[in-house]
């Protein structure tokens, strides 16, 4: 099986308020690496001419733009985080740069949300590829790797229209 694998680096900020780690309750940031492994949905023999599943440019350009324009230097907050309400009330323009998550924006959750978003983008581009695996490196010593259907791992299912991670657009929040 021929898979396409590529990595993108981005910086982010977040905080975890639901008690998993008191040291993470204050806003802080990480320089992360996201690596994705894309697999053809209809594998076939190379054609003897172009010899590609799809071009790397096509496979990664939309995803890299999303990472660069929406994830890089964004703040990740749980939908019930009081900071989110504060930003919406006092700095609405900056609030639009906040990634809103169902519960704490842990590395595990973000890996699943990012994989679901990437699959929505790939589906909108003809469904030639599917994300088979995502690896999100939070620090040089902490990494999450996931393969499978990310929707199976996400908290309480919601209607597709209410989930930014299921839409093939640049959304990072639903409210």
Question: What angle do helix axes 107-124 and 56-66 make, rounded to 10 degrees?
Answer: 130
Strand partners, 8: 34
Give the pLDDT confidence score for residue 161 in this predicted structure. 76
User: Which strands, in side-by-side order, build the sheet including 142-146?
Assistant: 98-101, 74-78, 4-14, 28-40, 129-139, 142-146
Give the pLDDT confidence score for residue 157 in this predicted structure. 77
Give the pLDDT confidence score for residue 79 in this predicted structure. 95
Distance (Å, rounded) from C-alpha 14 to C-alpha 8? 19
Q: Which of 136, 138, 154, 156 is nearest to 146 (CA)?
A: 136
The yes or no reply on domain 4-166 and CATH 3.30.479.10 is yes
Give the pLDDT confidence score for residue 175 in this predicted structure. 67
- Per-residue confidence in pLDDT tens, the chain, 175 aa: 899 999 999 999 999 999 767 888 999 999 999 999 999 999 999 999 999 989 999 999 999 999 999 999 999 999 999 999 999 999 999 999 999 999 999 999 999 999 999 999 999 999 999 999 999 999 999 999 999 999 999 998 787 778 999 999 999 999 6
């Amino acid at each position: 099986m021929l898979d396409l694998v590529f990595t993108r680096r981005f910086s982010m900020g977040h905080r975890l308020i639901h008690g998993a780690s008191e040291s993470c309750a204050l806003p802080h940031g990480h320089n992360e690496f996201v690596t994705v492994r894309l697999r053809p949905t209809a594998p076939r023999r190379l054609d003897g001419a172009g010899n590609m599943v799809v071009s790397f440019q096509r496979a990664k350009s939309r995803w890299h733009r999303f990472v660069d324009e929406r994830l890089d230097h964004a703040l990740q907050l749980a939908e019930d985080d009081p900071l989110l309400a504060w930003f919406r009330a006092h700095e609405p323009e900056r609030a639009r740069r906040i990634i809103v998550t169902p519960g704490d924006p842990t590395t595990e959750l973000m890996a699943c949300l990012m994989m679901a978003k990437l699959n929505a983008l790939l589906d909108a581009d003809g469904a030639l590829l599917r994300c088979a695996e995502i690896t999100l490196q939070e620090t040089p010593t902490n990494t999450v790797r996931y393969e499978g259907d990310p929707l199976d791992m996400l908290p309480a299912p919601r209607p597709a229209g209410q989930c930014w991670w299921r839409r093939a657009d640049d959304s990072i929040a639903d409210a």
